[in-house]
């Protein structure tokens, strides 16, 4: 399991969105071999989705041959309800990119037979050969999707009763009124998530720091369902500094040092996206040699020096500028949406 620590939510979202973009591009999906992506809802991935929209607007990624499966949906909430996860996904991501409607899979919380709906969902995942990359978030109690504390670690997609803590946490989306929050949901299981070939979990904020500590420093526990990621061969957690508050200082330094050594000693150009070595450690690149020399000097002097990365080439600068411009356009176009949503919450307290 890898743990990547970034300064704040903005940096976390940038890292995750770039990672997803690169995984899609490196996979080179086709209609016959689509990239199957698991997606979460809630507050954790919102900025990630916005940055993916920016990458798409800048021409740096296409969703034409991407198939998605969402983690969960409330039971009994109409699809067009402002707080349904159907609405959430279309507003934050799908309607802004070129994904095909038939490639979007979101559980139907209004199906006549909910158990059958869950079985069909699992069958569709299997039909496509499984999920390539699963992007998830967690709640303060460490639940992944709606797999609340005590959920079986071998669970599959099913109907789930929401914990009271989750209902309280989600009340902010329903005008602060917990009576309006659905009490049941359809959710993928822990095993459904862990069957993905790669799992990436976003954890940000001090209110989730205990869950991160339980996940990283303690054993696998069904009371903290996200801890199942410890057993995954390609598990990745991306968090901000606030989320590390309950971790031991030594733990944080350990994971940061791994990333530092990878970049400074091995060199970014020798590393794949998933941390794998791309080629033999024979490097004639002078800049990489300089990084290694400075790294060793820093270790010998016991100094906490930061090494400067090589300057971006002109193509990378142009690509970055294009993404930033796309982000500015998106923010301008979304301003009206957020104003209307705020007004709706004020009218319907």
Best CA proximity match to 3, nearest among 334, 330, 342, 241? 241
Strands (E), the chain: 2-6, 35-39, 66-70, 72-74, 104-105, 133-137, 158-161, 184-187, 199-203, 235-240
Catalytic-residue membership of 141: yes
Catalytic-residue membership of 86: no
Catalytic-residue membership of 195: no
The Cα 22–Cα 205 span in angstroms is: 26
Contact 134, 193 (CB under 8 A): yes
Catalytic-residue membership of 72: yes
Among residues 148, 195, 198, 240, which one is catalytic?
A: 148
Among residues 73, 117, 122, 141, which one is catalytic?
A: 141
DSSP category for residue 306: P
Strand, helix or coil for residue 81: coil
SS (H, E, C) 93-148: CHHHCCCCHHHEECCCCCCCCHHHHHHHHHHHHHHCCCCCEEEEEECCCCCECCEC
State the alpha helices, DSSP H only, in 153-281: 164-170, 190-194, 209-217, 249-261
Among residues 86, 96, 143, 232, which one is catalytic?
A: 143
Residues contacting 289, CB < 8 A, separation 6+: 283
Catalytic machinery residues: 72, 141, 143, 148
């Amino acid at each position: 399991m890898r743990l990547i620590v970034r300064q704040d939510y903005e940096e976390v979202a940038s890292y995750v969105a770039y990672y997803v973009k690169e995984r899609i591009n490196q996979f080179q999906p086709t209609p016959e071999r689509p990239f199957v992506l698991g997606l979460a809802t809630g507050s954790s991935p919102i900025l990630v989705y916005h940055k993916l929209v920016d990458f798409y607007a800048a021409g740096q990624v296409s969703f034409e041959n991407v198939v998605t499966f969402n983690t969960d949906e409330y039971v009994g909430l109409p699809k067009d309800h402002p707080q349904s996860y159907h609405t959430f996904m279309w507003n934050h991501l799908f309607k802004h990119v070129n994904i095909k409607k038939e490639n979007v899979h979101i559980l139907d919380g209004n199906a006549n037979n909910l158990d059958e709906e869950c079985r069909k969902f699992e069958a569709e995942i299997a039909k496509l050969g499984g999920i390539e990359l699963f992007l998830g978030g967690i709640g303060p109690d460490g639940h992944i999707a709606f797999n609340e504390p005590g959920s079986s670690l071998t669970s599959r997609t099913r109907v789930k009763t929401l914990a009271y803590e989750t209902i309280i946490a989600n009340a902010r989306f329903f005008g602060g009124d917990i009576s309006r929050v659905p009490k049941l949901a359809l959710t993928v299981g822990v095993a459904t998530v862990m069957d993905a070939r790669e799992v990436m979990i976003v954890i940000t904020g001090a209110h989730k720091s205990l869950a991160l500590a339980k996940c990283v420093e303690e054993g696998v526990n069904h009371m903290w369902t996200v801890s199942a990621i410890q057993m995954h061969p390609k598990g990745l957690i991306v968090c901000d500094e606030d989320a590390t508050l309950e971790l031991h200082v030594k733990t944080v330094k350990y994971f940061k040092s791994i990333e530092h050594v990878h970049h400074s000693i091995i060199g970014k150009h020798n590393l794949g996206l998933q941390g794998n070595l791309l080629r033999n450690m024979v490097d004639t690149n002078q800049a990489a040699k300089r990084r290694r020399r400075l790294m060793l000097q820093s270790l010998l002097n016991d100094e906490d020096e930061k090494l400067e990365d090589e300057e971006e080439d002109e193509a990378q600068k142009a690509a970055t500028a294009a993404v930033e411009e796309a982000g500015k356009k998106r923010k301008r176009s979304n301003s009206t949406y957020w104003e209307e949503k705020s007004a709706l919450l004020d009218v319907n307290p």
